[in-house]
């Protein structure tokens, strides 16, 4: 926002219209003496923007001139949305209250609509934060206030017309939170527990007490209800039991039951006699029948025993025959097995003898072979010893090598002597010749003269050829001397004899190798081992030339063993047959004895009866008669049983009828006792009025529940409100306070480069100024320092808004009256620098001091 | 009783304490006073006690109520009955005997209602009469924040002059408009707190209890913000 002009009419001292028209975008200064109307303009601006036209609160009333009239303020300003003109008039007469709002010279709203639009322009953004104007009122730097410390310091910031308060909640937030906390403290402790003797604790305790009483009374009422119910039931039961008709019915029932029982007992006696008659008839018939059965059975047994005896006798004879045959078979098998056994033994002996003969022949062949090897080995050992002796006679290899080397040295010396000796090569052109001795020397041939020579030249004379000093012949001589010495040392006079001896030695060494190989072939482990091996081969006597071969003997032995095996099987089969025959004979014998005993017993059973069959026929007739008598007795008994009443059931009926009467009597006594008890208890409960008390307690409990719910709801409401307030303040602090602080620090540096201002991050209030390590409480700082800090806080706030794209004018009304001349220059620089980012309007009565502030100089002019 | 003779000219008056109806199915009906007992027993009048409020069972059978009430169950002060028997239908006159007047009233509101007028209808103009008046005002319906605040403030202003004054607003909903919250704050932390509470109060996904608590917290914030701080 930027303010362009302001017009006042009927505002305090300005009873006529005045205006300021040239308010620029940056720094603006209205410097005038006291009572010039600066604060009036300041207050008018504030009222026009923030006080409803309908309001007549003190700060509006203060705008009315002493002479009366309706204060009217017209402000031209612009925002990002466009250029606006606001006219607002307050009056005690409702008809003269007025507000109008133009946008870009078009009237866009009046009265409430205009107020709403203005509020919308000035309203803080939905996301929170201050509105679009910042105010610094005259002298509100904390110097004049006499309130408590926090309020004094907060007033430093209150000159921002509540914007900081709106940001953090400020004093209203503090007051509301304090009120909420105070209300909560009546219910809860600081740790959130119900406060002792507090409304919440009392409501809880009251309800608990009533709940306990209610439970107790409910139990008592339940008991009473149960008692009443039981008494009702018992009374009904007593009435039913003592009903005369019911009593008569029970007595009649008993009489009828007893008569029926007597009839039944008589019928039972008659039936008892019939049953005894039947039992006797049955005993006689059964006895006769038993005798008949015994006799018939004895006759049959006698007949069967005789048949069995005959059968057993035949079986015994047959078994005896089978036993004789088995004995014969066993005797024959025994003889055959014995013969086969002897044949097998003989075949085994022949086989063993054949095997021994074969082993003897093998041993003899081996002995011969080994003795031939022994002879060859002994011959090889003799040759080896002789060859080794020949090797020992020859020169050793080292001496031979030495002589060979020295012989080569002699040859080399000789060749060298010849090649380096004086020589001549002749070419004859005439007949004359050169002679050594008498023999002419050949031409065209190099003739060496290592020892010099005396040459005769035909027709010329003699020429002596000198060998010269250091002749090579010395080297040859020396080499030859060394060779001779080596030959002597080896024991040989010349090289030829040495070479011959060496040749013989080589031949002897070949013989040693051959003999060694032969000895190894014949006796790998040595002659002694071979001799031991021969000695270990046993000597065998001459073998029987008539023996069969081992194979033949083994085949014969196998056949004999097979025959023996067959004989053993046959013998076993004979033994088994014999055992079976013995067993059968024994069993037949036993059966025969048993049959004889049975026949004896059967005969004894009929002893004394002359004609058993005739006796049996007579007895059968007697049984038939007795059975007819039994049938008659049974029929009589069945008829009586069918007609007999059930005495047991009748007795039970009789007993039940008696018991019912007796039980009724006992029950009546019990009921009367119980009713007496119940009456006593019910009377006691009634006198206690438990039902009335329960109803009363239930009502009180309902009230206590409602009270507790109300208190709990109140606690929840207060807690919720406190939680919302704390969260909002914390959010505001994070969103706005920190940015303001970051804007403030560089401004502080401008005035006190080495100082640090400590600010309460929660209240945005300066607390200490630290300079050169010394902390100074804000409240003990000089007035100038305090007003400078207060102003810088506001400028930091404006800077933050400007950076946020919501540039707000900062209006200062004698804001730095206590600042000294030196530091006011720095403040001027700061204001000029900040005015580059937002509009600053300065009202000051210090005309001389503010002359150097710069910016656009404002004047209050009379308006038309 | 029906068989008992009465001398010529004498009045038959019954006096009993108990109920004339049962509230339990299994109750013993012999414990109940038959409603036609006066007629069946030939009584000129049957005076009953048990109910704390007056109740006419029939012209000859009445509960007189209690001379001094001690709860809100029956509106008004305690009473007694002056019964005149002359052989005909009894003449019954109710006489107030109680000192304390128990009143439990309902007030239903709609937005823009005149809350002061509605409340003042139950507040005696004479403050001296309020000392013995025990008044419970149960409010329901809906009011806007300022109206609700005005109602609560109005109640608070007179509460101390009553023997007992209870303004119950649990069932009174609050209608919140944007302008209402401006009265708390147009911006800043207080407005943020108010907005947060309003959102929570109108959050249909939250439980009814939570919404109620938030709404009442907003009411409280509104009221506190209107106090002179």
* Full DSSP string of B92-148: EEEEE--S-EEEEEEEEE-TT--HHHHHHTTS-SSHHHHTTEEEEEEEEEEEEHHHH
- Residues in B closer than 8 angstroms to A721, CB to CB, are 193, 197, 217, 220-221
Same domain membership, residue B143 and residue B52: no
Please indicate, yes or no, whether residues B20 and B133 belong to a single structural domain of this protein. no
β-sheet bridge partners, residue A426: A443
Q: For residues A25 and A827, what is the distance between their CA atoms, to the nearest angstrom?
A: 19
- Of A131, A172, A232, nearest to B229 by CB-CB distance is A172
- CATH superfamily, region A2-161+752-862: P-loop containing nucleotide triphosphate hydrolases (3.40.50.300)
Q: Which residues of B touch A165 (CB under 8 A)?
A: 188
Nearest to A156 by CA among A145, A142, A143, A146: A142
- The ranges of chain A with pLDDT < 50 are 126-132, 137-162
* Range with the poorest average pLDDT among A150-154, A728-732, B14-18, B74-78: A150-154
Q: Which of B31, B71, B189 sits opposite A167 (nearest CB)?
A: B189
- Note whether B186 contacts A: Cβ–Cβ < 8 A: yes
Looking only at Cα atoms, what is the longest distance across chain B? 91
Reported as a pLDDT band with limits 50, 70 and 90, residue B51 is confident
Q: How far apart are the C-alpha atoms of B16 and B22, rounded to whole Å? A: 16
Question: Has residue B52 got a pLDDT over 80?
Answer: no
Contact flag B229-A232 (C-beta cutoff 8 Å):
no
Q: Which of B186, B193, B216 lies at the smallest CB-CB distance from A123?
A: B186
Q: Which residues contact B171 (CB under 8 A, 6 or more apart)?
A: B138, B139, B140
Q: Write the DSSP symbol of residue A198.
A: S
Contacts of A139 (CB under 8 A, 6+ apart): A814, A817
Instruction: Tally Cβ neighbours within 10 Å of residue A493.
Output: 11
More confident residue, B22 or A284: A284
∠ CA(A809), CA(A814), CA(A815), 5° rounding?
A: 65
Q: In this predicted structure, what is the pLDDT of residue A431?
A: 85
The burial of A258, by beta-carbon neighbours within 10 Å (0-12 exposed, 13-18 middle, 19 or more buried), is given as: middle
B220 vs A: CB within 8 A: yes
B68 vs A541, residue with greater confidence = B68
d(C-alpha B15, C-alpha A428), whole Å: 207
Most A CBs within 10 Å, among B169, B190, B211, B225, to test the A interface: B190
Phi, psi angle pair for A465, to nearest 5°: -100, 115
- Residue A112 to chain B, least CA–CA distance (Å): 12
* A721–B185 CB contact, under 8 Å: no
pLDDT at B164 (0 to 100):
94
Phi-psi region of A855 (alpha: psi -120 to 50; beta: other; left: phi over 0): left
Say if residue B107 is in the same domain as residue B220.
yes
Q: Other C-beta atoms within 10 Å of A666: how many?
A: 11
Residue B131 lies in a domain: yes
Q: Yes or no: say if A186 and A198 are a contact pair by the CB < 8 Å rule.
A: yes
Residue of chain B nearest A123, judged by CA positions: B186
In this prediction, residue A762 carries a pLDDT of 59
| Cα angle for residues A849, A854, A858 (degrees, 5° grid) | 90
Q: How far apart are CA A67 and CA A78, in angstroms?
A: 33
Residue B193 sits at the chain A interface (C-beta within 8 Å): yes
What pLDDT sits at residue A170? Answer: 64
- Assess whether B79 and B121 both reside in one domain: no
Model-level ipTM above the cut of 0.85: no
Could you count the other beta carbons within 10 Å of the beta carbon of residue A633?
A: 19
Q: Please provide residue B71's backbone torsions phi and psi, each rounded to the nearest 5 degrees.
A: -160, 170
Instruction: Classify residue A514 by burial, with Cβ atoms within 10 Å: 0-12, 13-18, 19+.
Output: middle
In a domain, B107, yes or no: yes
Encode A571-609: b = buried (16+ Cβ within 10 Å), e = exposed. beebeebbeebeebbeebeebbeebeebbeebeebbeee
Are B202 and B175 members of one domain? yes
Shared domain for B219 and B122, answered yes or no, is: yes
CB atoms near residue B162 (< 10 Å): 20
> Sign of the C-alpha dihedral, residues A568, A572, A573, A575?
positive
Query: A681, A170 in Cβ contact below 8 A?
Result: no
Shared-domain flag, residues B106 and B199: yes
Distance in angstroms (rounded) separating the CA atoms of residues A121 and A143: 34
Identify the residue among B104, B166, B170, B187 best suited for mutation to test binding to A, counting A beta carbons within 10 A and taking the highest: B187
Tell me which residue range forms the domain holding B62.
Answer: 13-96
- For residue A609, which phi and psi values (nearest 5 degrees)? -105, 120
Instruction: Tell me, yes or no, whether B3 lies in a domain.
Output: no
| Binding-site residues on chain A for chain B (CB distance < 8 A) | 119, 122-126, 128-131, 165-173, 175-176, 179-180, 228-229, 232, 699, 710, 713, 716-718, 720-721, 724-725, 727-729, 731-732
Give the DSSP letter of residue A818: S
B65 in a structural domain? yes
Query: Are B189 and A168 within 8 A, CB to CB?
Result: yes
User: How close B41 comes to chain A (CA, Å)?
Assistant: 24
| A810-813 and A134-136 strand pairing | parallel
Among the partner-chain residues A168, A171, A720, the one whose CB lies closest to the CB of B217 is A720
Bridge partners of residue A264, in order along the sequence: none
Q: Is B35 exposed, middle or buried (0-12, 13-18, 19+ CB in 10 A)?
A: middle
On whether both B92 and B121 belong to a single domain, the answer is: no
B93 forms beta bridges with B82
Check CB contact under 8 Å for A176 and B191.
no
B-chain CB neighbours of A179 within 8 Å are 224, 227
Query: CB-hemisphere CA count at 13 Å for A374?
Result: 15
Would you state the pLDDT for residue A163? 53
A377 backbone dihedrals φ, ψ, rounded to 5°: -65, -45
Looking at B96, B115, B130, the residue that finishes a domain is B96
Cβ neighbours around A732 below 10 Å, total = 25
Pairing between strand A810-813 and A840-844? parallel
Q: How many CB atoms lie within 10 A of CB B91?
A: 11
Asked, for residue B6, whether it belongs to a domain, the answer is no
- Does B212 lie in the same domain as B114? yes
Q: Which residues of B touch A232 (CB under 8 A)?
A: 28, 30
A chain contacts of residue B216, beta-carbon cutoff 8 Å: 713, 717
What gap in Å lies between CA A801 and CA A766, rounded to an integer? Answer: 20
**Structurally, how many domains does chain B consist of?**
2
Q: Helices in A523-611 by DSSP H: which ranges?
A: 527-536, 550-605
For A826, residues 6+ apart whose C-beta sits below 8 A from its C-beta are A750, A751
pLDDT greater at residue B212 or residue B4? B212
The Cα–Cα gap between B229 and B225 comes to 8
Q: Which of B28, B187, B193 sits opposite A166 (nearest CB)?
A: B187
- Show which of B50, B79, B96 is a domain's final residue: B96
Residue B109 is assigned to a structural domain of this protein: yes
Chain A closest CA to B142's CA: distance in Å?
A: 19
Domain end call among B96, B122, B153:
B96
| Cα of A654 vs its chain's centroid, Å | 81
Looking at the domain assignment, is residue B121 inside a domain?
yes
The average pLDDT across B151-163 equals: 91
List the single residue in B190, B212, B217 with the smallest CB-CB distance to A172. Answer: B190
A-chain residues within 8 Å CB-CB of B227?
175, 179
Q: How many CB pairs under 8 A join A and B?
A: 113
Cβ within 8 Å of residue A254, ≥6 positions away: A654, A657, A658, A661
The answer to whether B156 faces chain A, any CB pair under 8 Å, is no
The tokens for B170 are 């649990």
B182 inside 8 A of chain A by CB: yes
Tell me, what's the pLDDT at A694? 85
| Among candidate residues A400, A406, A424, A603, the one with its CA nearest the CA of residue A505 | A400
The verdict on B229 touching A (C-beta cutoff 8 Å) is yes
Give the C-alpha separation, B92 to B95, whole Å.
Answer: 10
Interface test with A, best of B25, B193, B218, B219 (most A CBs within 10 A): B193
How confident is residue B29, by pLDDT bands cut at 50, 70 and 90? low
| Nearest by CB: A728 against B182, B189, B227 | B189
Question: d(Cα A307, Cα A309) in Å, to the nearest integer?
Answer: 5
Cβ within 8 Å, pair A124-B191: yes
DSSP single-letter state for residue A457: E
Confidence (pLDDT) at A544 = 67
Tell me the C-alpha distance between A789 and A757, whole Å: 9
Cα angle B202, B204, B208; round to 5: 85
């Amino acid at each position: 926002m930027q303010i362009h002009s302001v017009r006042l009419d009927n505002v305090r001292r300005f009873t006529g219209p005045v205006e300021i028209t040239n308010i620029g975008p940056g720094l603006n200064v209205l410097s005038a003496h006291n009572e010039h109307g600066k604060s009036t303009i300041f207050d008018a601006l504030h009222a026009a923007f923030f006080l409803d036209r309908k309001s007549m609160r003190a700060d509006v009333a203060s705008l009315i001139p002493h002479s009366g009239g309706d204060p009217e303020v017209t402000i031209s300003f612009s925002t990002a949305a466009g250029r606006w003109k606001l006219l607002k008039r307050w009056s005690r007469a409702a008809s003269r209250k007025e507000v109008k709002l133009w946008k870009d010279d078009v009237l866009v709203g009046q009265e409430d609509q205009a107020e709403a639009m203005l509020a919308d322009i000035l309203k803080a953004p939905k996301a929170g934060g201050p509105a679009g104007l910042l105010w610094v009122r005259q002298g509100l730097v904390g110097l004049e206030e006499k309130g408590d410390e926090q309020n004094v310091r907060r007033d430093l910031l209150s000159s921002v017309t509540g914007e900081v308060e709106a940001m953090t909640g400020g004093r209203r937030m503090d007051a509301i939170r304090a009120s909420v906390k105070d209300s909560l403290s009546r219910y809860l402790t600081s740790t959130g527990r119900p406060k002792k003797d507090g409304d919440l604790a009392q409501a809880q305790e009251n309800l608990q007490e009533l709940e306990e009483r209610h439970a107790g009374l409910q139990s008592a009422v339940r008991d009473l209800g149960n008692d009443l119910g039981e008494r009702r039931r018992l009374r009904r039961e007593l009435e039913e039991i003592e009903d005369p008709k019911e009593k008569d019915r029970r007595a009649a029932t008993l009489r009828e039951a007893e008569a029926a029982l007597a009839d039944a007992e008589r019928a039972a006696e008659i039936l008892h006699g019939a049953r005894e008659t039947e039992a006797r008839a049955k005993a006689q018939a059964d006895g006769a029948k038993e005798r008949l059965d015994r006799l018939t059975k004895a006759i049959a047994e006698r007949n069967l025993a005789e048949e069995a005896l005959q059968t057993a006798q035949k079986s015994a004879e047959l078994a005896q025959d089978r036993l004789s045959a088995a004995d014969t078979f066993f005797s024959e098998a025994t003889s055959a097995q014995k013969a086969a056994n002897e044949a097998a033994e003989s075949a085994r002996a022949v086989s063993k003898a054949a095997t021994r003969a074969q082993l003897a022949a093998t041993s003899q062949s081996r002995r011969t072979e080994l003795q031939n090897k022994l002879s060859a080995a002994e011959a090889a050992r003799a040759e080896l010893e002789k060859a080794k002796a020949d090797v020992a006679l020859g020169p050793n290899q080292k001496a031979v090598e030495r002589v060979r080397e020295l012989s080569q040295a002699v040859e080399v010396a000789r060749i060298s002597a010849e090649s380096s000796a004086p020589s001549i090569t002749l070419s004859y052109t005439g007949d004359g010749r050169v002679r050594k001795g008498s023999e002419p020397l050949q031409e065209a041939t190099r003739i060496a003269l290592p020892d010099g020579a005396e040459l005769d030249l035909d027709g010329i004379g003699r020429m002596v050829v000198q060998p010269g000093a250091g002749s090579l012949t010395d080297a040859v001589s020396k080499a030859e001397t060394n060779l001779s010495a080596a030959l002597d040392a080896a024991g040989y006079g010349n090289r030829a004899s040495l070479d011959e001896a060496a040749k013989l030695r080589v031949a002897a060494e070949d013989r040693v190798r051959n003999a060694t190989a032969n000895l190894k072939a014949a006796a790998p482990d040595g002659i002694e081992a071979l001799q031991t091996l021969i000695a270990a081969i046993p000597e065998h006597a001459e073998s029987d030339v008539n023996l069969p071969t081992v194979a033949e003997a083994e085949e014969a032995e196998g056949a004999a063993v097979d025959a023996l095996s067959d004989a053993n099987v046959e013998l076993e089969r004979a033994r088994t047959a014999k055992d079976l025959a013995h067993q059968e004979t024994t069993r037949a014998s036993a059966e025969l004895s048993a049959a004889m005993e049975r026949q004896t017993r059967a005969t004894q059973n009929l002893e004394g009866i002359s004609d058993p069959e005739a006796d049996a026929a007579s007895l059968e007739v007697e049984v038939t008669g007795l059975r007819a008598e039994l049938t008659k007795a049974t029929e009589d008994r069945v008829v009586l049983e069918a007609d007999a009443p059930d005495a047991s059931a009748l007795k039970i009926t009789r007993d039940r009828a008696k018991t019912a009467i007796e039980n009724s009597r006992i029950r009546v006594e019990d009921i009367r006792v119980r009713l007496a008890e119940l009456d006593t208890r019910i009377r006691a409960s009634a006198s206690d009025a438990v039902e009335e008390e329960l109803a009363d307690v239930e009502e009180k409990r309902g009230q206590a529940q409602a009270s507790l719910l109300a208190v709990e709801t109140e606690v929840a409401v207060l807690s919720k409100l406190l939680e919302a307030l704390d969260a909002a303040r914390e959010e505001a602090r994070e969103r706005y306070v920190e940015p303001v602080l970051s804007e403030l620090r560089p401004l502080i540096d401008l005035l006190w480069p080495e100082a640090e201002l400590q600010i309460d991050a929660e209240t945005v209030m300066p607390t200490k100024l630290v300079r050169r390590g010394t902390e100074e409480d804000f409240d003990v700082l000089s007035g100038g320092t305090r007003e400078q800090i207060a102003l810088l806080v506001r400028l930091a706030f404006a800077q933050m808004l400007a950076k946020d794209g919501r540039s707000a004018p900062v209006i200062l009304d004698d804001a730095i009256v206590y600042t000294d001349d030196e530091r006011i220059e720095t403040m001027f620089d700061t204001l000029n620098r900040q005015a580059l980012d937002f509009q600053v309007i300065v009202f000051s009565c210090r005309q001389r001091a503010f002359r150097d502030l710069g910016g656009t100089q404002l004047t209050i002019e009379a308006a038309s | 009783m029906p068989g008992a003779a009465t001398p010529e000219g004498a009045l038959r008056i019954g006096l009993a304490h108990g109920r004339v109806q049962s509230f339990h199915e299994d109750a013993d009906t012999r414990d109940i006073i038959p409603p036609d007992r006066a007629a069946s027993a030939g009584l000129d009048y049957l005076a009953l006690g048990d109910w704390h409020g007056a109740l006419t069972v029939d012209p000859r059978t009445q509960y007189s109520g209690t001379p001094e009430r001690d709860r809100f169950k029956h509106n008004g002060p305690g009473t007694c009955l002056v019964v005149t028997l002359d052989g005909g239908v009894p003449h019954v006159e109710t006489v107030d005997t109680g000192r304390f007047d128990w009143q439990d009233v309902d007030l239903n509101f709609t937005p823009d209602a005149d809350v002061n007028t509605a409340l003042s209808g139950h507040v005696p103009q004479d403050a001296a009469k309020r000392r013995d008046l025990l008044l419970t005002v149960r409010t329901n319906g809906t009011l806007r924040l300022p109206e609700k605040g005005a109602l609560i403030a109005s109640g608070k202003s007179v509460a101390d002059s009553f023997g007992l004054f209870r303004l119950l607003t649990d069932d009174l909903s609050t209608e919140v408009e944007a302008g209402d919250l401006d009265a708390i704050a147009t911006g800043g932390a207080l407005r943020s707190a108010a907005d947060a509470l309003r959102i929570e109060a109108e959050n249909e996904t939250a439980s009814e209890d939570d919404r109620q608590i938030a709404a009442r917290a907003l009411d409280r914030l509104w009221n506190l913000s209107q106090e002179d701080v």
